[in-house]
Amino acid sequence: MAASALEAKAHELVGQLGPNKLAAVVQLMEVMIHDDIEESDTLSPAEAKAIAEADEWSKHNTPIPHEEVLAEFGLSVADWEKMSREP
């Protein structure tokens, strides 16, 4: 499957998740991205510090669902998806 088709499928599936499952998927994706970042040598000291702080925070706090973060800015998931598709 082509990358664009995979992205479309991922967006479709994520859009069907409830808040708790969506939070779990977001956390998984953050771990996956974090692992990719750790494997590269391109992190600045400030970036490494920010990641370490975020990792420490996540050990002691419940993840904030994406919908809640967006709502604080007056946005919905549909708004976010539209913005992420725009060039």
Q: How far is C-alpha 46 from the chain's CA centre?
A: 20
Structure confidence at residue 17 (pLDDT)? 84
pLDDT at 5: 86
| Helix, strand, coil % in the chain, rounded to nearest 5 | 75, 0, 25
Give the model's pLDDT for residue 36. Answer: 60
pLDDT value of residue 38: 56
Mean pLDDT per 10-residue section of the chain, whose length is 87 residues: 84 86 84 67 82 90 89 89 78
The amino acid occupying position 54 is: A
Would you state the pLDDT for residue 41? 64
